[in-house]
Structure 1
């Protein structure tokens, strides 16, 4: 999957930055460019032999910075600059892209350690998070926030969730693309029997809310709520495959809001959705959960995936045969309500043509 001419979306000769598929395909290609850069480095492919440049140059981007892991010296991210003389309307000026795990001798040890940190909600203590955050903060000194986009896949997506949260709390709601972002709970949504699935998911929510109520002193509740609710202005784009157990939990996380409201447990849901069982068990106020989000546009791949490799693969997101469903799940802090907005198949990034299907 290294050669762009064979594997990439080379059919996209003209990019419409108001088209959701075009944006998704371009950004996923930029993320894949990080993978190919690291494989070029490992295999000694330099100059004309390097396979990575077409993954960004085809879309008129320039590589302006490479993020290198300070522990194993591998490439884990990149900063791309859009270089068309007359920058297209709604195109980003810069994209910060992070890769996920690579199972190679040069990368597996450090990447596996980061996976463990991800599971324990400790990614914010890792050097990659600090490097990515530093790059974003540096760019925002000279570039307006709407012109800086974040893009990550799997582990890289998890890191950028934390970066996005950090910047949202500073009033910078950055456009963010998260491909197959990990969800750190049992994927109950994969249970085929709907009644059993709904009961188990509701029970899990009730247990989480009860645990949060028992462990969090009432005097700390306003602080916890404020820290979570300030994120409502940030609308990251999440791309998940229902057959990928590493990310499919986001589907149930957002859809369960409707169910909880219907059974009269909206207040319980308010508590449950902003708490992580891992953080509650450790009583670590410094830990930051990657899978608690008040608002997100959730795009689900509706095409069947014959195996995990395809369900988890990044190439599905630039494949023009992929059929998707996108729903904006929005939390309204003032009204203390949730809103679901169904997006047309090729919806625009500016929100035209949105259809409200439920306001809870």
Structure 2
């Protein structure tokens, strides 16, 4: 019993660490457009994002419940705490590697792939909840394409609205709008991304016999929201540089269109209780906006590099989690 309690405590600590890292890793995506267009100074943008992330994180729990039960059944895991701990360590290591190199990799892909890889290493492929897992994979796969379309349509609409407007006045006004869109972006980021840590902590509590249902406890919600808010306050300026400038040259109207498009996709996913990658959605929305503006204006070489990272994240995190599980299983 002491070992189970120790493992549960370790899972909670590392889940909050993952959430903290997720905060500074993915917050860059939420505020990249507003910082790169100089609508907001970096420090102000990061503080605003931290507050809005916290508010978003404590508002919803549907995605957390999906993470708790849709990948694997926590009630059926005999060594669930070790499985979850291995998954968290793998996802944290992957996030730190991609953050160090300034690559906007997906924390969502990392943790979902890591949970699946660790569980398969422990109990074989039969342990996966295929109905729920496939549903999550579909959301992760389709959301970038939906975001590209949303970005393209939003920018096309903006081009019609501001067709005859004075460029200087329009840019000045749009910068004020971007303050609102960046806040909305950060709020929606909190509603989806922070819930992943909540779901993982709940899985650990169930696996450790400390909880009998899949409800998200109040202290879990608040602690995850605080961890993400604190992580957000640090910011990830390397990734801001990649997302905000290397995909395409952003102007205020482009940034606002990308923010509105990606926020609508992320929040829609939250409402139907599906985890999506905010990294994927925001980067894809920027690509869609760029394509609507001028296809050749999008730096597709950088975009291809980002997409390749998306593709390798889940299997890499899964393999890493499986290896870590085998190591931890020796000791526990």
The TM-score normalised by the length of structure 2 is 0.23
Q: Which has the higher contact order (CA 8 A, sep 6+)?
A: 2
Which structure: greater helix fraction? 2
Which structure: greater strand fraction? 1
The TM-score normalised by the length of structure 1 is 0.22
